[in-house]
Chain A
Amino acid sequence: MKTLNKKLLIITFSLLFVFITAAFSIQSNAAYVSNSLTSRYVYDIENGEEYKFPLIYELNYEKKFNKNDIYGEININPIFEYGLETESENFKFKEAYIDFYFPDFDLRAGKQKLTWGKSDGIVVTNIVNPRDYTVHPVVEYSDQFEGVNALKLNLYPKNNNLEFVWIPEFKSATMNKNILLNKIPDNFRKDDSKKEIKPEFENSELFIRYSSIGQKLDYELMASYSWDDEPTLHKNFQEMTVVPQHHRLTTVGGSISTMKGPYVFRGEGAYVSGDHFNLKDPQFQISDYPEGVIEKDVTKWLVGMDYNYEGYLLSLQFMQETILDYKEEILQDEFSNQMTFLIQKDFMRSKLNTEINFHYNLNDEVLMAKPTINYDYSDTINLKTGANLNLEGETFKEDVIYFQTEYLF
């Protein structure tokens, strides 16, 4: 009875909010208000049980302003999620920022998401926003990244883009607990005492990017002084603890994109200084590496190609990460290779969109597939179904299938 009341309360609250915001959107002339209400049913096909049943309400509020000849825009994007199966509530801002537009530069302050680089679905230089590894299933690619509180400055020399992003307080990636637990040896316990990075000026992060688009070539050059989003697990052999710690990284990189006939080619590369890796045998040369961790520089490069054939978009990418000055004792392989392959096709005058995305980790021989079917029943009702499937190898994420109804208003 209590559960039923709570559900009724949530549904009533949602409907009330819907009506209020809908009314607001009519009354507001300058602001643009859009809402979406999504119900998603996720089924764990591995264990044959219902997995999640969230009800998601999302508001997008945009308002342009012009005050004392200062132009700008406010963008607020809150999201409220209620898990019907767990009766859990989650409220957060995906983004909430203010833009100021000046003749030669723009300034943005607030919680924001940015995308850098030319690759799709693989991270090389797209490192401003931390990842959220708990998102499962992945319905929208951008949901895997979390917004960060940042100050962004854009300058536009010769119509190109010079971007500075300053993140005053470091935000770590949200890790999947199963992956973390698997990395902790049986007789060790976890000690989070050194995991936090104090919100001080010297601990802030800085990212710089220069980008240009042109007739023959689009390119980006980037550099950053940041923290590694995923902590390295240091070991304390006296206390038998595993101590997750973040490290400073210096990254320089770039990406390009060009077209030749029906092909679009892209490339991306980065040099990362100061990455840390665990050793296979933590007691190896314990005097040199007392915490079972070694520091090494890393290179990453990616090549990709899009090709349109008879209305089908085919997209292939290959990425390699290399640990420089490699030592055999490092737990991770010297070369880590991954590939993605996407097939996409629209039907019924773009009402029906289908795609299947494969991701293959060549080192671990893990093949994942993400088929998706999206049907725009109308401009306000969207139906979507898809799956996150592990076709080969082992992962910590269950095979799931999902069905989603989205109402836009």
Chain B
Amino acid sequence: MRKNILLISFMTLIIMLTGFTVDTLAEDLNGREIMEKVYNRETGEDREAEMNMILVNKFDDERERVLKQFNRDFGEVEKKIMFFTAPQDIRGTSFMNWSYEDERGDSQWIYLPALRKIKRISAENKSDYFMGSDFTYDDLGERKLEEDNHKLIGNEKINGEECYIVENIPKEEDYMYSKTITWVSKDKWIGLKKEFYDNDGKLLKTLTVKDYKKIDGIVTIIHSEMYNKQKDHKTILKLDEVEYNTGISEDKFTERQMKMGI
């Protein structure tokens, strides 16, 4: 009996200690470690989705862009292709991006159906806004962990979820933002809110996650909103028909596919 009590007490202590240790570890994470978890969370080998981009101006007038997106991580290179399906004047346009793990820069192409031509475009202009939206190419792309210095600056609840607040200061001096601040969900490792500051240190834009859900076991943001505070307009981004790990082949990211469309 005494032996059992001893064992139970020991087990309880272990559980408490373990629990305490996990909590302590979580509390002890620094900014870089938090962002590392965000960058390294499971996102699948490939993904396809329909994207609705609604551009809303200060008078609440809306313009909608619909596109189908496919992307796949091939290890040293991640390839992405987008097909615009609406509105009519940009229908048939496609955009392809190859992003390399190493120092090689991105390669980008656009297919313009009116010209029946694929054009290589510079991937350096990441501060350009994507199709008139409030998202820059860089906002939509995969920023690398080592491109910023990350600092944990606090904790806060967003919609009832415990979040870390991490300040990210770009190492590159001429980067379009002086800093960004990300609210990272403590248990899902996704950013639920992000603030973008201009080069004068003033708040430029706020990205807010409105809805997310688990699809094929992967936490997926399906509704977000980017609000440009300085210009008082916003872009709503909605994902639909999201599928992971469908085995998208390399043939999808070719000249043939850009011209052929979906």
Report which A residues bind B (CB closer than 8 A): 32, 34, 36, 101, 106, 113-115, 140-142, 154, 156, 159-161, 211-215, 218, 257-259, 261-264, 266, 306, 308, 311, 346, 349-351, 376, 378-380, 382, 408
Contacts and interface: CB of A to CB of B under 8 A. Distances in A.
A255 to B, nearest CB: 11
Interface string B99-132: 0100011010100001111111111110011011
B82 to A, nearest CB: 16
A184 to B, nearest CB: 35
Nearest to B86: A379
| Interface residues of B, dominant DSSP | mixed
Contacts of A114: 116
B120 A156 contact: no
A142 B256 contact: no
B54 to A, nearest CB: 11
B87 interface: yes
Interface of B: 55, 57, 63-64, 77, 87-89, 91, 98, 100, 104-105, 107, 109, 114-125, 128-129, 131-133, 233, 250-251, 254-256, 260
A378 B64 CA distance: 10
Given A346-B132, A379-B88, A213 B118 contact: yes
- The 6 closest A-B CB pairs, nearest first, are A350-B132, A349-B132, A379-B87, A115-B116, A262-B124, A115-B117
Contacts of A266: 120
Contact of B120 (A113, A141, A161, A257): A257
B104 A113 contact: no
B252 to A, nearest CB: 10
B256 A159 contact: yes
Contacts of B132: 346, 349-351
Contacts of A213: 109, 118, 120, 254-255
A34 B87 CA distance: 10
B126 to A, nearest CB: 10
A407 to B, nearest CB: 11
Contacts of A311: 128
A306 B115 contact: no
11 contacts: A101-B260, A142-B116, A212-B255, A213-B254, A214-B107, A218-B109, A306-B122, A308-B125, A349-B55, A349-B129, A380-B88
A211 B250 CA distance: 17
B260 A159 contact: no
B251 A159 contact: yes
Contacts of A351: 132
A349 B233 contact: yes
B83 to A, nearest CB: 13
A381 B118 CA distance: 27
Contacts of B107: 214-215, 259
Contacts of B77: 215
B120 A258 contact: yes
A402 B125 CA distance: 33
B118 A154 contact: no
A408 B89 contact: yes
Contacts of B57: 349
A259 B89 contact: no
Contacts of B116: 113-115, 142
Contact of A259 (B100, B117, B120): B120
A141 B89 contact: no
B122 A382 contact: no
B88 A262 contact: no
